[in-house]
Structure 1
């Protein structure tokens, strides 16, 4: 039981280790996938945020260009770009706005003091590479950082002195600017030329947005992504654990169902009886074999105490059992017909891994077959002893008996016919012959049963045996009844030895019917066995005698040797068959011989 418990613990540890490694593997895979998706989501959120700020800056640039065009239409003498930059810089999240020429010199700035200064070095301009398309960079603006959106500033097409080549309203606007430049001040003329150069690169407009807002938005996005990742990870782990537990539950249910089905199959197909009691000592389970062994008519015994449902022979033993194992103890119970059935009872406690007892299992073994085999062993041992005795003394006894018989015959012939002396001599000869027959039976019993098999018609053999006892049967007023089996095939048997066995049984039956009766022989067969039943209507055999009639020297007759049925048993067993007797005193006896159709045994 300790080894079983250790094996169970090893299995549990192995299953736990496997589950742990599966859990770790699932966490690693799930964590990798979630990390990848989180990083990708953060990058997408950042791109969307960058696009939003870029479009915001582009919208401001477009608004500035629109304002510049409007001012140009309504007031050619005063372009208010500087004013527009100063006014728009007051909006939230805007740090600065400025316009520079192609060399990085500031033309207009939200801070008027910065106008005329240089905003970027040539190296920085080369890195920025302003163009007609909107771009953005994170730049240092004093102690702060700015999200700077920039592109070429083009409120309308540049003037190259060839206004007639410009289509539509843009051409007309260029012509008007060209005509009115003559009336501008020198300062305004210079500003115009910087802002709208007739040749060369266009000026660049820069929108500086507060980077803190951008960084804060990025941080919020990262935090949201991390929270979502952790949440998804927890949900994934919970789902994985739920699936794992559900799988374990299904496996446990399947194992439980399999174990239960296997236990039920084993229990109800055991050749022995099985009795199970629970922790309170009440009957929890009982198979059909146990019901039959204990001669229980009511099978509804589950939940009852042993004293209420079981025979006293077993109930007391079950109630007195402790928590330890019960070695096999033999008890005797009464069968359905009142016969005594020896039953071996053994038991063992059912315990959990922690040693807690939850019940008891009892195995009930029918010992009748064991007792029969033990009796068979004893009989064969006795036969072996008789055989050794017969082999040793038969020769030594027969020689003197031959001499005694010879002298008895000689002296009998010397006396007159009918005299007492001659009668005494005849009695001596008769007794010598009887003793010689006993020795012959001893020798037959002791020597190996070497059969001389031949294809034999059992119907003819039985008819021949009836013919031999016909006169004796008539003298005993016994009617002979024979039922043949016309479909019986010929069997490979020793006809002489088999006839000897049948005759021995028939002669015993005749002696059991001194006042007459019926002696019947019935032949039948199946695919594997041939059955011969010899029955009489004589005195019958008691139960005590029926158990021992095949033992050597056991006899109920005053003049019998007790070897006849022993020889019959030996002949039948030599053919691979069996013989048994069924009898009831005062009704008669029935000998049932079964011989296999195909030869078996040592003499096959």
Structure 2
């Protein structure tokens, strides 16, 4: 028999790939790129805006500080009052010289220009849009400044400008004049000089008029110096996004290819896993070699049958790791015409019982008719052979039983006549006397033969069981109590081990009592010099098991297969029907009896009853 390996032609794996998956992936990637770009751009604008706001507020604080210092020097020197507009104008002109500063205005709440410095200044009034922008300021410091980006329409390039507006002093500031002199230990002395200044009333009037106007600063900064880096960064982000998009498209294509490859690997892996599970789950052993003859496959069933570990078989040549009978099933690199491909082989293992194995091997070839390996199938026929022997034995015993039953019926009638004649003969002789004793012997022998015939008939005919719920433990206790005195007379110690949580069975109490009594008496009689008798009751998932073990004479190996045969006995006074009848009763309960023994060591009988 030859197996041929077929080569499979795999189609285009990408044909099964859905284009919608790629479209969705590209859309999500593009969406992420847009979000990333906008987020970075906005973040940069916010950072630049915060920096410009801080610069504008710093300029305002610088103007305030410079103007206040100039006013203090003017008052402290006692010179003619210069006027706050000139002081403020000088500070603004000094501040507007800073790089990036376009203009600085001080306007009232109606938009009138109070002071200013820089380029492109309005004459007297700011436009309505600017006034509306500045009107967003709120008192009490809740919104101390407002800022915006505007386009300067007067320029040729329409450049962007950054505007920030903030209060000169809060509209609700109390005691405004003292604030001009700051705080510290010299504040009182300065206030004294101010109150004695010749133009005290004029200064006070001008400052009160200024505060009543609620002045505010309007600072305009050059935004273009920051706009160019922003545009360059935006361009860099766009270029980066395009690169990432190209990488994403390339990755998607790679993903499609890898997915196809992975799909093939997964299918191959599933097929291989299925094959491994199938091979390991086979009830027969399987050993396969490759083209070099080395063993590449060995399932658990094969290793268990051979009594070896898979690791000691795999990767080696058959003649190294297999018994000789199995090695002969491998041909090497031939089609196997000269090799016997089917045979039965008795495997004798020192660590296990002999096994009868059925062997069948096949050669594997590829499409080019080249040798690819061999496969050996192993089937354990040990149980089958035992069942065949058991069936033959049962058929033989059945025939013997039928014959014995017929003979017993034929013998019973003559025996009854012989017994009657013997009793009649005895009545004609006086007692005591030799003739009367001979007649008594004749009567006793006839009765013995009649009992043996009764036992034979009981064995041959189907038993009528009287079943009821019963505890096997209680039956064992009762039976052990019956043989206790005989055991003590022989110097035998009986150890009864029972399990409490066993279920009750539907059995015939008397019949099982007969079985246990017969087995216990056999064990006692096997230990004439005394010994130990162990009676153990246990259970597994499906059965209740009774073990009766003695350390007596044991049974010879050649006698073990015959112990259940009718009329087979090794005792001088035995009938040979005890174990045969016990096995019959247990079988009628759906169970079985097993016996194991080593001469001069022990004998163990297992009675197995289904739950």
TM-score (ref. length: structure 1): 0.55
Q: 1:407 to 1:513 in 2, by over 3 A?
A: farther
Q: 1:487 to 1:301 in 2, by over 3 A?
A: closer
Q: Give the match for residue 304 of structure 2.
A: 292
- Contact residue 452 and residue 494 of structure 1 kept, 8 A: yes
Q: 2:449 and 2:292 mapped to 1: Cα distance?
A: 69
RMSD (Å) for aligned C-alpha atoms: 3.7
The residue correspondences of 1:219-368 to structure 2 (distance < 5 A) are: 250-296=262-308, 299-319=311-331, 323-324=335-336, 327-337=341-351, 339-368=353-382
Q: Give the match for residue 516 of structure 1.
A: 530
Choose the corresponding residue for 1:503, options 509, 512, 517: 517
The residue correspondences of 1:438-587 to structure 2 (distance < 5 A) are: 438-526=452-540, 528-587=542-601
Q: 2:431 and 2:441 mapped to 1: Cα distance?
A: 14
User: Could you list the per-position Cα deviations for residues 154-186 of structure 1 after superposition, in whole angstroms to 9, with x for gaps in the alignment?
Assistant: xxxxxxxxxxxxxxxxxxxxxxxxxxxxxxxxx
Q: 1:412 to 1:300 in 2, by over 3 A?
A: same
Q: 1:492 to 1:310 in 2, by over 3 A?
A: same
Any idea what SS the aligned residue of 1:498 has?
helix
- Contact residue 382 and residue 552 of structure 1 kept, 8 A: no
Q: Give the match for residue 170 of structure 2.
A: none
User: Could you list the per-position Cα deviations for residues 21-44 of structure 1 after superposition, in whole angstroms to 9, with x for gaps in the alignment?
Assistant: x79xx9xxxxxxxxxxxxxxxxxx
Any idea what SS the aligned residue of 2:363 has?
strand
Any idea what SS the aligned residue of 1:404 has?
helix
TM-superposed deviation, 1:326? 6.0
Q: 1:584 and 1:257 mapped to 2: Cα distance?
A: 52
Q: Give the match for residue 34 of structure 1.
A: none
Q: Give the match for residue 380 of structure 1.
A: 394
The residue correspondences of 1:431-442 to structure 2 (distance < 5 A) are: 431-442=445-456
Any idea what SS the aligned residue of 2:273 has?
helix
User: Could you list the per-position Cα deviations for residues 313-342 of structure 1 after superposition, in whole angstroms to 9, with x for gaps in the alignment?
Assistant: 322343589535965411122224364222
Q: 1:295 to 1:525 in 2, by over 3 A?
A: closer
Q: 1:266 to 1:458 in 2, by over 3 A?
A: same
- Contact residue 359 and residue 379 of structure 2 kept, 8 A: yes
Q: 1:457 to 1:326 in 2, by over 3 A?
A: same
- Contact residue 329 and residue 361 of structure 2 kept, 8 A: no
1:399 matched to 2:422: no
Q: 1:318 to 1:548 in 2, by over 3 A?
A: farther
Any idea what SS the aligned residue of 2:312 has?
coil
- Contact residue 306 and residue 319 of structure 1 kept, 8 A: no
The residue correspondences of 1:420-431 to structure 2 (distance < 5 A) are: 420-431=434-445
Any idea what SS the aligned residue of 2:500 has?
coil
TM-superposed deviation, 1:275? 1.3
TM-superposed deviation, 1:422? 4.2
Q: 1:343 and 1:365 mapped to 2: Cα distance?
A: 6
TM-superposed deviation, 1:540? 0.7
Q: 2:429 and 2:610 mapped to 1: Cα distance?
A: 57
The residue correspondences of 1:43-62 to structure 2 (distance < 5 A) are: none
Q: Give the match for residue 146 of structure 2.
A: none
Q: Give the match for residue 179 of structure 1.
A: none
Any idea what SS the aligned residue of 2:579 has?
helix
Q: 1:538 and 1:441 mapped to 2: Cα distance?
A: 28
- Contact residue 348 and residue 360 of structure 1 kept, 8 A: yes
TM-superposed deviation, 1:297? 6.0
- Contact residue 298 and residue 310 of structure 2 kept, 8 A: no
Any idea what SS the aligned residue of 2:462 has?
coil
- Contact residue 295 and residue 336 of structure 1 kept, 8 A: no
TM-superposed deviation, 1:389? 1.7
Q: 2:283 and 2:452 mapped to 1: Cα distance?
A: 44
- Contact residue 329 and residue 340 of structure 2 kept, 8 A: no
Q: 1:354 and 1:248 mapped to 2: Cα distance?
A: 29
TM-superposed deviation, 1:249? 5.0
- Contact residue 293 and residue 335 of structure 1 kept, 8 A: no
Q: 2:492 and 2:364 mapped to 1: Cα distance?
A: 64
Q: 1:561 to 1:321 in 2, by over 3 A?
A: farther
Q: 1:245 and 1:444 mapped to 2: Cα distance?
A: 82
Any idea what SS the aligned residue of 1:464 has?
helix
Q: 2:431 and 2:524 mapped to 1: Cα distance?
A: 34
TM-superposed deviation, 1:279? 1.9
TM-superposed deviation, 1:250? 4.6
- Contact residue 329 and residue 341 of structure 2 kept, 8 A: no
Q: 1:419 and 1:312 mapped to 2: Cα distance?
A: 76
User: Could you list the per-position Cα deviations for residues 433-455 of structure 1 after superposition, in whole angstroms to 9, with x for gaps in the alignment?
Assistant: 33323322322222224322101
TM-superposed deviation, 1:404? 2.1
Q: Give the match for residue 152 of structure 1.
A: none
TM-score (ref. length: structure 2): 0.54
- Greater relative contact order (Cα 8 A, min sep 6): structure 1 or 2? 2
Q: 1:264 to 1:336 in 2, by over 3 A?
A: farther
The runs of 5 or more residues in structure 1 that have no matched partner are: 27-240, 598-604
Q: Give the match for residue 141 of structure 2.
A: none
Q: 2:460 and 2:369 mapped to 1: Cα distance?
A: 59
